[in-house]
Amino acid sequence: MPMPQMPPAHPFDDDKLREECGIFGVVGVQDASNFVALGLHALQHRGQEAGGIVTHDPVEGFQSARRFGYVRDNFTSQDVMSTLPGPIGIGHVRYSTAGSKGQTAIRDVQPFFGEFAMGGAAIAHNGNITNANALRKELIERGSIFQSSSDSECIIHLMARSLQRNIPERMEDALRRVEGAFSVVAMTRTKLIGVRDPLGVRPLVLGKVGDGYALSSETCALDIIGAEFLREIEPGEMVVITEKGVESHFPFRRQPSKFCIFEHVYFSRPDSILGGRSVYETREAIGRELAKENPVEADLVCPVPDSGTPAAIGYSLQSGIPYAMGIIRNQYMGRTFIEPTEQIRNMGVRLKLNVNRALIQGKRVILVDDSVVRGTTSRKIKEMILDAGASEVHFRIASPPTAWPCFYGVDTPERDKLLAATMTEDEMAKHLAVDSLKFISLDGLYRAVGQDQGRNSACPQYCDACFSGEYPVVPTDMVERGFEMKPAAE
Amino acid sequence: MPMPQMPPAHPFDDDKLREECGIFGVVGVQDASNFVALGLHALQHRGQEAGGIVTHDPVEGFQSARRFGYVRDNFTSQDVMSTLPGPIGIGHVRYSTAGSKGQTAIRDVQPFFGEFAMGGAAIAHNGNITNANALRKELIERGSIFQSSSDSECIIHLMARSLQRNIPERMEDALRRVEGAFSVVAMTRTKLIGVRDPLGVRPLVLGKVGDGYALSSETCALDIIGAEFLREIEPGEMVVITEKGVESHFPFRRQPSKFCIFEHVYFSRPDSILGGRSVYETREAIGRELAKENPVEADLVCPVPDSGTPAAIGYSLQSGIPYAMGIIRNQYMGRTFIEPTEQIRNMGVRLKLNVNRALIQGKRVILVDDSVVRGTTSRKIKEMILDAGASEVHFRIASPPTAWPCFYGVDTPERDKLLAATMTEDEMAKHLAVDSLKFISLDGLYRAVGQDQGRNSACPQYCDACFSGEYPVVPTDMVERGFEMKPAAE
Amino acid sequence: MPMPQMPPAHPFDDDKLREECGIFGVVGVQDASNFVALGLHALQHRGQEAGGIVTHDPVEGFQSARRFGYVRDNFTSQDVMSTLPGPIGIGHVRYSTAGSKGQTAIRDVQPFFGEFAMGGAAIAHNGNITNANALRKELIERGSIFQSSSDSECIIHLMARSLQRNIPERMEDALRRVEGAFSVVAMTRTKLIGVRDPLGVRPLVLGKVGDGYALSSETCALDIIGAEFLREIEPGEMVVITEKGVESHFPFRRQPSKFCIFEHVYFSRPDSILGGRSVYETREAIGRELAKENPVEADLVCPVPDSGTPAAIGYSLQSGIPYAMGIIRNQYMGRTFIEPTEQIRNMGVRLKLNVNRALIQGKRVILVDDSVVRGTTSRKIKEMILDAGASEVHFRIASPPTAWPCFYGVDTPERDKLLAATMTEDEMAKHLAVDSLKFISLDGLYRAVGQDQGRNSACPQYCDACFSGEYPVVPTDMVERGFEMKPAAE
Amino acid sequence: MPMPQMPPAHPFDDDKLREECGIFGVVGVQDASNFVALGLHALQHRGQEAGGIVTHDPVEGFQSARRFGYVRDNFTSQDVMSTLPGPIGIGHVRYSTAGSKGQTAIRDVQPFFGEFAMGGAAIAHNGNITNANALRKELIERGSIFQSSSDSECIIHLMARSLQRNIPERMEDALRRVEGAFSVVAMTRTKLIGVRDPLGVRPLVLGKVGDGYALSSETCALDIIGAEFLREIEPGEMVVITEKGVESHFPFRRQPSKFCIFEHVYFSRPDSILGGRSVYETREAIGRELAKENPVEADLVCPVPDSGTPAAIGYSLQSGIPYAMGIIRNQYMGRTFIEPTEQIRNMGVRLKLNVNRALIQGKRVILVDDSVVRGTTSRKIKEMILDAGASEVHFRIASPPTAWPCFYGVDTPERDKLLAATMTEDEMAKHLAVDSLKFISLDGLYRAVGQDQGRNSACPQYCDACFSGEYPVVPTDMVERGFEMKPAAE
């Protein structure tokens, strides 16, 4: 029963993989909702479609607000924020991945809330449950009524049916039934709970703010509220936080960790810290590695704004070719050009980007982008650059060819829409009609993110399924729907 | 977790009992949602706070839209209606009675929907479940997650847990666990279902529209869609309607019927048919009976607009005293004067009503109203009439003193707020400072609604608990919260 | 340059003449804007499309707010009202008559404001300037820039070019150039000014509220603010009101008065006082006169709601035939059914009205309506009554046949759309297919409004051009556009 | 009479000078309004508060829409754009400078329109009329009625009173009375007109699009519609463009040109072309010059985003110190954080910017910004950098100290709010508590923009009043209000 809410049109973003969620929670502060709103604002790049906040206050009980649109538009007015009192709260921003196809109902917007015999709990989930269909079917047969089409709702129904006597234990029960990738932030009346799946596919970090604590998908959201970054939650760890402190549990069977390598490439904000280093520096390092692997003579290194910028700087530093902003982004574009007239819609990329004609003219240009997904944008950008009079265009891509869909909480096109699934590097260069097109190698990427020995092909240090097709967790629901995995022998 | 939605302010209506719901359903027509919207529009007097529609279409599946505000404002645009395709649909308009105190969340707006193993079902409920608290507690302990604070949600959870193999039988199972007053309209992918509780407290009627069928709280909603009124659903009857026809079941133990007598007095629209006669005629008959029981010499009979009009006409016809519109209603008032400034708020009744000064001056006026609840409005109207220069004011009330709250789906003030619960008729006359105040007797009311022998005190023909304090179903939840019923001996 | 604002659709009201404006002003009170808002709310029946308020405060200067829609929706929030401070203010509600055809820009919404060398002034105008085209052309040639398409804007430009030294004298200068019908309320920083044209076609009344004064189109707006009705402004009178008191001037050549007789028939609210009597009583008297002139045997007298009600009561009282509400109005209709789906649109009148089937069946019914304009609604109502099983339908109309358009501030269809312009009474009866159709005579109407000798055909006591075709002021602009007046000899 | 419209809060932008307007016009294309909307979108950086479009169509005549907010939010829906038909149109985006203090009414939003005896005309104005007060007083005394508080409205009233027979000549007449800086785009039913004041203070360029022509404040708006950049309109030139071609006139006395040098520094978009070179390259050149004049040992060159970026790249290229993004902008901030809660408001700069902590730690950082106005933001950014652990902070500013307000169409703080008006460079460095603070010299800036010999102090090649205090046109109105100009001897 989807509501007639149109997701904002992003003519440009269909050519990127999209992280689908950001999660945030805080306990032990005054007016937790303000902290959650700020945290979600800092995580907005992880989900622009909708957001929600739940808080608890001893007098008012649990309160929630869930809205379509940006945090800054929905969670900044006194009208809304005053309805969310109390010292504890969690929040969620989302893009749709699982759940209703195309359109999202407000019912699908997290956090989800459940009233149990021992009190209420709310949860916010980043990731994707790969056996959600089977779980849902089983729960419905036993009398559960689902209110959303979200895979995440399974967790709260599993918790409702658990025989455990307190909420953290019910959550352990529930999550042991769940397969796939998940980072979860949850809350009861007094406890803030954080969990990462045993592989640690999606990120989750812990911070200290005043006398209280915060959990966040990324450290940039700790910065915005003035919190100190303490540490990453470990794969398979559950933390239960009260105003008194942080308890740590490891309810799952231990496994080798498989953090999503694409967080380094594109999803995380450049000012966030991952693995002890700023994401910006990692991307600059990727650019250097890319320059080492794929040098070319040229006059200028230009980023495809904004996500190609750090790698372009790295490429320039390594190669000695001057860095320049050959493409200018219209800062008023944001991602919200809604309802363009047909004529404007056809202008496509020009609304967002303009080429610095006078700068580019007659130059050999290296364009650095973070990834190529469908290739539609790359093609348009190349045309803009050539129209502006560039003499040569060389594409350099700061990630390996994206040839496989992600089933762990990232919105990917179906496999046959991925340019790299159907073409070799040379075919792609021909298809895009550029003078050259080169991707960083998978080993090069591993080196740039800090694995000096490169990728351990026996047991890769990261989840790199989108590049390698090697899925660390079998995507059960998708396989049932007919998805063909790569033969193991390959 | 109520949302920060303010119900419209009704400065005037706090002095009326308020029917809390209207329900409507249709099957076997093209674009059922348009019929449901029209039906709900005709039933808007039964609930102005919010409304919802669910439809089913073979291609699109179940679709729903639920909104605060009037049907005419929410369910008339092509944008909304085009999202509700299909040949079958049900709808609901509501005032809050049970459910969250004061504020309502959109989650509390019906119809409610549940996905069962054998398919989905939606239900809309008019009435009140008097054992909802106990049922809710039991269901939560067994792992059900409630999404609303509405008593009606119990029905769908009981259905989810039933062991029956089809939806009508699951509904029978569920409703046998439920106590109180209920008329229900429900739908599956292909079946429209209607039920009235064994006492038949709340109304429900059946109509034929083209090759299809409609269920409605009142016949006026059949008129608006051009449907033919077939018959009332009987107390304790369940009808299961497909495009092929109407099946009738009687799943409950038979009991003497107890239709709400206040539907005749105020709730139903004057152009609806109840018991084979137009409600208008019944009210005119009540006015005649009132004139017989309580005559007085005067110059004019004036209605308190608009609900006192038919009884005033009856009083005038019986007494021979000319009928006149001494009080004029501002038609632009509607019931939606939102956010008045303090100054306007204090003007109270004047925004809604104005006295016909030139007409009233020096006259002895009989004011006919349908009921007296708190007495606050009666007092203001009396003052307006005297300010305008009336020489005498005689109140005549077309119902007996309202001394007891209703627990069967009507929004009543607590008992100590009811003027008649704490004062005799004479004390009320003194309190209101009118020249005389008279109510129709309970026997007189029974005669006027067609019981020529008056009320059968051994087994009253109607539910008249609001007048008599004799509750046909024990209001379990309220008794647990401390409500004291009238001693049986009284 | 009309803005894309759609006026609300009134499927029903295209069959009434529409008064196009209500005006109100107050001086010498705290927060004048609240009084103006209340006054305009009481005058909402005179114009539903848009409204505006201007106030003046010694600190903030002149402030204004102009909005499309109802007063209750636009001028009740603290947000808006707090921007309109000060002890003096005027306001306007409007339907479009002159001005842009069909659509209205917010620029056309009054009051209009002008900054002159000696200070600012705002004016609100009810009526129509019949030589506006010529004036506008002349003013543009001399360098005035018009901001609206409204005829009323001429007045403010004429004032700007006057050589007089103060604003009231400039207004006299301006209004002496103007032909047609006008009641004007205007304000300077300290003065409230009211004017009626020499014929007094449109109404304007004076009231006292606390230590201050109010001007209003009708007395009902004095009642709502608790003001005392002092007197009507006389035809050709200008009052200049300060906090100290009321000065009266007569700047125009005296002429016999020609008040609009249709104000008695339909435009004014029944609780307003006109000519020392409530409009309700006048309409009841019209109904009595109608019964005397056009008796018929029948079972019931039913009003066409709501405007036919007082005349129907009068008809019933005179004829002895019982009065009954055979047609019920859906009170949630208001006049705002916006964007109906095609299906709902086609339902037409049913959305607004329903017949009391059980009451009407088998009866001979007299339907009393205030007027017949195009006849489209009369026809639909007749069909509803017959569908409901009435055995006879007799129409009785409380005004003479409307055969001529009004050019003095009333929105009338073009002449060939007026049923009475092309058919005799008998032809209309046949066209509507009713058992009989009778109008009150013009003499009868004059008697009912208090002219015991009937109409003075040498010099009629009222403007009755819509019935008689005798226009007291030549409609210059319309004649230039080709309107053919009735030959004088006729 | 300002309306209660709040301009968006820009906590950050109060520390920049703000260009107040962008103008655009097009003739000879299908659906001109779509081109104008795109052009204004590309010029949005020149004015974010409001925008307006006027078009003319042979059938519909002149049409207009004026709205608060961004072009992308107001001029993209079919609803609005379909009301603006025709092959010719002009538009305007604005920040308030002259006009009502603080708040703007929709009446103040351009283009302004006037109906003259020979037809209508609309104009859009970028700049500021320095004798507007005197002109306005004179026009009001002669009977003109102003509808806005904008200085630009004088032009249309002067045109209305001109004795010339056609609109271009009336515009010449009007503009000869006007002092100050102005670029104007205007239109009649068939002609697109562009004018620059004799000094050419504000920019205006001409482009060819299909068979038609476009006028724009900057070339970036030509790029977005696919127009070819033909040339800059010359100082003192008036072009009159029809579908047939471009006529050029020079109605004013010739004077040495004084283009605003700050357009190079900050106002214009980096991808626009000014003086035959991209603004980006000019800014990079400013950065190089800045590095030559003010070298310092450091580890990183970081821009203050986004306006400091090109100069920082230039500084890095010149100095050999690596360029890095030490400060990350939150791309979801835009400039629209409306109604922040008090707590969020106090977070100030953090909502917009975050420091790359892991990158900055222990480093000596050169921060490059385009200008220092009040210095409030510089201070906050310095604190963020130090909090993040930088060992040294050196500010380098790509313009000379801004010590004088602009009166030619730029929104500047009053003189005593300008940091450089009250402090020397050393005092500023101490005030900001940075390790060093250096500005480019005025001569250095002239060299960087292409004047190899630097500034001609006898007759400067640009208007640089904001740096030098030498105003090329006496700001009459401001001098009357008490502004003290720099003594000529200085």
Distance (Å, rounded) from C-alpha A345 to C-alpha A340?
6
Instruction: Dump the DSSP string for D188-248.
Output: -SS-EEEEE-TT--S--EEEEETTEEEEESSTHHHHHTTPEEEEEPPTT-EEEEETTEEEE
Tell which residue, D57, D30, D20, D11, has the closest CA to residue D336. Answer: D11
> Mean of the pLDDT values across residues B329-350?
50
* D278-452: CATH number: 3.40.50.2020
Question: pLDDT, tens digit, for every residue of B179-214?
Answer: 999 999 999 999 999 999 999 999 999 999 989 999
Q: Is there contact between D and B if contact means ≥3 C-beta pairs under 8 Å?
A: no
Distance (Å, rounded) from C-alpha C180 to C-alpha C193?
19
pLDDT band at B14 (very low <50, low <70, confident <90, very high): low
pLDDT of residue C344: 45
Fold of C282-452: Rossmann fold (3.40.50)
> Contact A64/B3, CB-based, under 8 Å?
yes
Question: pLDDT, tens digit, for every residue of A233-288?
Answer: 999 999 999 978 999 999 999 999 999 999 999 999 999 999 999 999 999 999 99
Would an 8 Å CB–CB cutoff place C6 in contact with chain D? no
Tell which residue, A63, A50, A185, A44, has the closest CA to residue A109. Answer: A50
pLDDT of residue D257: 95
The owner of tokens 């085209």 is: C133
Would an 8 Å CB–CB cutoff place A160 in contact with chain B? yes
Question: pLDDT, tens digit, for every residue of C454-469?
Answer: 999 999 999 999 999 9
Tell which residue, C392, C399, C445, has the closest CA to residue C425. Answer: C399
Closest chain D residue by Cα to residue C149: D115
Establish whether D466 is an annotated binding residue: yes
Average pLDDT of chain A? 89
Q: Which two tokens stand for residue D443?
A: 């001569």
Question: pLDDT, tens digit, for every residue of A355-394?
Answer: 998 899 999 999 999 999 988 888 889 988 998 999 999 9
Closest chain B residue by Cα to residue C322: B317
**Cα separations (Å) of B349 from B328, B333, B346?**
12, 11, 9
Helix residue ranges per DSSP H, D320-457: 342-347, 357-360, 376-387, 419-422, 425-432, 442-448
Chain B touching partners, 3 or more CB pairs below 8 A: A, C
Q: Cis ω on the peptide bond leading into residue D340 (within 30° of 0)?
A: no
Tell which residue, B94, B21, B23, B91, has the closest CA to residue B56. Answer: B91
User: Distance from C267 to chain B by nearest Cα, in Å?
Assistant: 14
Question: pLDDT, tens digit, for every residue of C370-394?
Answer: 999 988 888 889 988 998 999 999 9
pLDDT band at A79 (very low <50, low <70, confident <90, very high): confident
pLDDT of residue B7: 28
Is C21 catalytic? The answer is yes
Closest chain D residue by Cα to residue A305: D331
Distance (Å, rounded) from C-alpha C147 to C-alpha C361?
57
Distance (Å, rounded) from C-alpha C100 to C-alpha C112?
16
Q: Which two tokens stand for residue C183?
A: 């009641």
Question: pLDDT, tens digit, for every residue of B456-476?
Answer: 999 999 999 999 999 999 999
Active site residues of A: 21
Question: pLDDT, tens digit, for every residue of B435-450?
Answer: 999 999 999 999 999 9
What number of helices (H) and strands (E) belong to chain C? Answer: 18, 25
Helix axes D153-161, D132-141, angle to 10 degrees: 40
In degrees, rounded to 5, the angle at the alpha carbon of residue D243 between the alpha carbons of residues D240 and D244 is 80
Q: Which two tokens stand for residue B247?
A: 């099946």
Helix residue ranges per DSSP H, B356-462: 357-360, 376-387, 419-422, 425-432, 442-448
Distance (Å, rounded) from C-alpha D348 to C-alpha B14?
47
Minimum mean pLDDT range among A186-200, B14-28, C315-329: B14-28
Q: Kindly list the strands in the beta sheet with B21-27, ordered across the sheet, starting from the edge strand earlier in the chain.
A: B61-68, B50-57, B88-94, B21-27, B212-216, B205-209, B228-232
Q: Which residues of chain B are within 8 Å of residue C223 when distances are taken between CB atoms?
A: 350, 354-355, 357
> Contact C281/B317, CB-based, under 8 Å?
no
3-state helix, strand, coil in chain D (%, to 5): 30, 25, 45
pLDDT of residue A336: 34
Residue D327's DSSP bridge partners are D355
Q: Which of residues 304-363 of C touch B (CB under 8 A)?
A: 306, 309-310, 313, 317, 322-325, 328, 330-334, 336-341, 343-344, 347, 350-351, 354-359
CATH class, A277-452 region: alpha beta
Average pLDDT of chain C? 89
pLDDT band at A72 (very low <50, low <70, confident <90, very high): confident
> Contact A65/B141, CB-based, under 8 Å?
no
Tell which residue, A395, A399, A396, has the closest CA to residue A446. Answer: A399
Distance (Å, rounded) from C-alpha D425 to C-alpha C119?
49
Q: Which two tokens stand for residue C448?
A: 């009912």
In degrees, rounded to 5, the angle at the alpha carbon of residue A234 between the alpha carbons of residues A228 and A235 is 145
Tell which residue, D289, D300, D302, D269, has the closest CA to residue D368. Answer: D302
pLDDT of residue B347: 55
For chains A and D, what is the number of CB pairs under 8 angstroms? 175
Active site residues of B: 21
Minimum mean pLDDT range among A125-129, B159-163, B292-296, C10-14: C10-14
Backbone angles phi, psi at D317, to 5 degrees: -60, -40
Domain ranges of chain B: 13-258, 282-451
Distance (Å, rounded) from C-alpha C43 to C-alpha C242?
24
User: Distance from B245 to chain C by nearest Cα, in Å?
Assistant: 25
Fold of A13-258: Glutamine Phosphoribosylpyrophosphate, subunit 1, domain 1 (3.60.20)
Residue A232's DSSP bridge partners are A205
Distance (Å, rounded) from C-alpha A27 to C-alpha A12?
38
**Cα separations (Å) of B96 from A409, B134, C203, C284?**
40, 20, 45, 42
Flag whether pLDDT at B4 surpasses 90. Answer: no
**Cα separations (Å) of B84 from A146, B24, C196?**
21, 15, 54
Residue B397's DSSP bridge partners are B369, B439
> Mean of the pLDDT values across residues C261-271?
95
Q: Which of residues 256-285 of C touch B (CB under 8 A)?
A: 269-271, 273, 276-278, 280-281, 284
CB B192 within 8 A of CB B213: yes
Q: Which residues of chain B are within 8 Å of residue C38 when distances are taken between CB atoms?
A: 344, 347, 351
CATH of B282-451 among 3.50.50.60, 3.40.50.2020, 3.40.50.300, 3.30.365.10: 3.40.50.2020
pLDDT band at C1 (very low <50, low <70, confident <90, very high): very low
Distance (Å, rounded) from C-alpha D466 to C-alpha B198?
86
pLDDT of residue D12: 42
Higher pLDDT: A32 or D411? It is A32
Q: Cis ω on the peptide bond leading into residue A111 (within 30° of 0)?
A: yes
Kind plus residue range of the DSSP H or E element containing D80? helix D78-81
Q: Do domains C13-258 and C282-452 have the same CATH topology?
A: no
Question: pLDDT, tens digit, for every residue of A388-434?
Answer: 999 999 999 999 999 999 999 988 888 989 999 999 999 999 999 99
SS3 for chain A is CCCCCCCCCCCCHHHCCEECEEEEEEECCCCHHHHHHHHHHHCHHHCCCEEEEEEEECCCEEEEEEEECCHHHHCCCHHHHCCCCCCEEEEEEECCCCCCCCCCCHHHCCCEEEEECCEEEEEEEEEEECCHHHHHHHHHHCCCCCCCCCCCHHHHHHHHHCCCCCHHHHHHHHHHCCCEEEEEEEECCCCEEEEECCCCCCCCEEEEECCEEEEECCCHHHHHCCCEEEEECCCCCEEEEECCEEEEECCCCCCCCCEECHHHHHHCCCCCEECCEEHHHHHHHHHHHHHHHCCCCCCEEEECCCCCHHHHHHHHHHHCCCECCCEEECCCCCCCCCCCCHHHHHHHHHHCEEECHHHHCCCEEEEEECCCCCCHHHHHHHHHHHHCCCCEEEEEECCCCCCCCCCCCEECCCHHHCHHHHCCHHHHHHHHCCCEEEECCHHHHHHHCCCCCCCCCCCCCEECHHHHCCCCCCCHHHHHCCCCCCCCCC
Residue by residue, pLDDT tens for chain D (490 residues) are 322 222 232 334 457 777 689 999 999 998 899 899 999 999 999 998 899 999 999 999 999 999 998 898 888 877 788 899 999 999 999 985 444 444 557 788 999 999 999 999 999 999 999 999 999 999 999 999 998 889 999 999 999 999 999 999 999 999 999 999 999 999 999 999 999 999 999 999 999 998 999 999 999 999 988 899 999 999 999 999 997 899 999 999 999 999 999 999 999 999 999 999 999 999 999 999 999 999 999 999 999 988 899 999 999 999 999 999 999 988 775 433 323 344 444 455 567 789 998 899 999 999 999 999 988 888 889 988 998 999 999 999 999 999 999 999 988 888 989 999 999 999 999 999 999 999 999 999 999 999 999 999 999 999 999 999 999 999 999 999 889 888 865 4
Distance (Å, rounded) from C-alpha C65 to C-alpha A221?
42
Helix residue ranges per DSSP H, B272-401: 279-293, 309-319, 342-347, 357-360, 376-387
Q: Cis ω on the peptide bond leading into residue B411 (within 30° of 0)?
A: no
Flag whether pLDDT at A334 surpasses 50. Answer: no
Neighbours of C117 (CB within 10 A): 11
CB D197 within 8 A of CB D182: yes
pLDDT of residue A4: 27
* Backbone φ/ψ region at B456: left (φ over 0), alpha (ψ -120 to 50), beta: beta
Would an 8 Å CB–CB cutoff place B92 in contact with chain A? no
pLDDT of residue C333: 56
Closest chain B residue by Cα to residue A67: B3
3-state secondary structure at position B387: helix
Tell which residue, D148, D138, D145, has the closest CA to residue D92. Answer: D148
Nearest to C157 among D61, D145, D156 (CB): D145
For chains C and D, what is the number of CB pairs under 8 angstroms? 71
pLDDT band at C348 (very low <50, low <70, confident <90, very high): low
Closest chain A residue by Cα to residue B52: A3
CA D25 to centroid of chain Cα atoms: 17
Residue D22's DSSP bridge partners are D93
Residue environment code for C304-335, b if the CB has 16+ CB neighbours within 10 A, otherwise e: bbbbbbbbbbbbbbbbebebbbbbbbbbbbbb
